Amino acid sequence: MSKFKVLCLQCSLILIMFLNLRIDTACQSINGKKHRFIQLAEFEVPEANQGIGVDNNYFYAIDNTKIAKYDKKTGKKISVWEGPKVTFKKLPTGEQRLEKGGPIIHLDSAVVTDGLLYCAHSNYPIWPMTSSVEIWDPISMKHIKSHSFGILLGSFTWLDRYNGYWWGAFANYDQPYGEGGGLYGNKRNTTIVKMNNEWQILESWVLPDELLEKFEKMSNSGGSWGPDGFLYLSGHDPAEVYRCKLPEAGSIIEVLETIPLNIRGQGIAWDRNEPGIIYGIIRANQQEKSMGKTHRVTVSKLIEIKD
C-alpha cells in the first residue's frame, strides 16, 4: 500500500473517531441534564390518597372509591363522585376477598384528555388481579364508561395519553396477597405498556432493578409523560420521581435521573395546560392523622440546573 493511501486511511480513521466523539458528547449533554423541582403551591385535600389528574381549571384528587374536583387556583372543592365503600375479608392463607361494596374497588392515577376523565382501576388487593379503565364526565362528575382488561398483566395503576397512544402500567407486588399467601404477582413482573385507541397492547417494557429495589414490596404507582418528551415515573412511597426513556433496544426502561419531589409516592400528573408544572400527592401518615392533618396535593415546577 502506498504512503498516500496509508495517510488517507489514517485521516479517515481520525475523522470517524472525531465524529463519534462529537456524537457521544451530544448524547451525554442531552442525557446528562440535571433538574430540580420548585414547589409553587400546596393544598389540603382529604381525597388525595391514591392519585391525581389535572386539566385547564381543575385538579382531580383520587381515592379508592372517590374522586373530588378542586379549583386549581384556590384549592376550593367543587364536587365529588363517590362509589360504595368497600370492605375485604382476609382468608387464613393471606388472600383477600371482596366482602362489601364495588364495582369500583381501587382507583389510582388519572388523566384528563379529549374532555373526559380517565382513571386506572384494579381490584387490589383481591386475587386474582383484574384491571379496568374507568371514565367520567369531568363536568357533571358522572361515571359514563368502562373498559375491562380482566385478568391480564397485573393491577393497572396509571395511564396517560401521549403521541396518539395510551400508556400505562400493570403493577405487581411482593405483598403476600397472592394465591395461598404467595407473592401478589411478584414486583419484577411490573410492566409498562403502550396501547392503541382500542386499549390493545402494542409494546411493553419492564423496570430496571434500581427502581424495583426502591419500591421494596410495592411497585410503580404513577407515571406521566413530561413536556420534555421523557416518561416520569413514581413509586409507592419515595419522595422522588424518575426521569426515564424507552430503550433503543431490548425491553428494560432506562432511568436517566432521580429528581426529589415533595410527594410520598403514588400518582403524578403533568399539567398539559401549563408546561413544566407537575401535580403530586402527600398521603398523611398515622401520626399526622392523629394530629388532625389530612392528605395534601402539591404543585411544583421543573427547573433545569445550569452548570
User: What confidence category does residue 61 fall into, taking pLDDT thresholds of 50, 70 and 90?
Assistant: very high
Q: What residue has cell string 414547589? A: 39
- pLDDT tens digit sequence for 64-91: 999 999 999 999 999 999 999 999 999 9
- pLDDT tens digit sequence for 187-246: 999 999 999 999 999 999 999 999 999 999 999 999 999 999 999 999 999 999 999 999
Q: Phi first, then psi: what are they for 282, rounded to 5°?
A: -120, 110
| CA–CA gap between residue 225 and residue 230 (Å, rounded) | 6
Cell output for 105: 374497588
Ordered structural domains, the chain, with CATH: 35-304 (2.120.10)
Kindly write down the DSSP assignment for every residue of 160-211, as one continuous string. Answer: EEETTEEEEEEE-B-SS-SGGG--SB-GGG-EEEEE-TT--EEEEEE--HHH
Residue 22: pLDDT over 60:
no
Tell me, what's the pLDDT at 31?
53
Kindly write down the DSSP assignment for every residue of 21-87, as one continuous string. Answer: HHHHHHHHHHHT--EEEEEEEEEE-TTTTSEEEE-SSEEEEEETTEEEEEETTT--EEEEEE----E
- pLDDT tens digit sequence for 235-247: 999 999 999 999 9
- pTM score, whole prediction: 0.88
Mean pLDDT of 129-141: 98
Task: Please choose, from the candidates 55, 50, 83, the residue with its C-alpha nearest in 3D space to the C-alpha of residue 71.
Answer: 55
Task: Please choose, from the candidates 24, 59, 53, the residue with its C-alpha nearest in 3D space to the C-alpha of residue 160.
Answer: 53
User: What confidence category does residue 94 fall into, taking pLDDT thresholds of 50, 70 and 90?
Assistant: confident
User: What confidence category does residue 26 fall into, taking pLDDT thresholds of 50, 70 and 90?
Assistant: very low
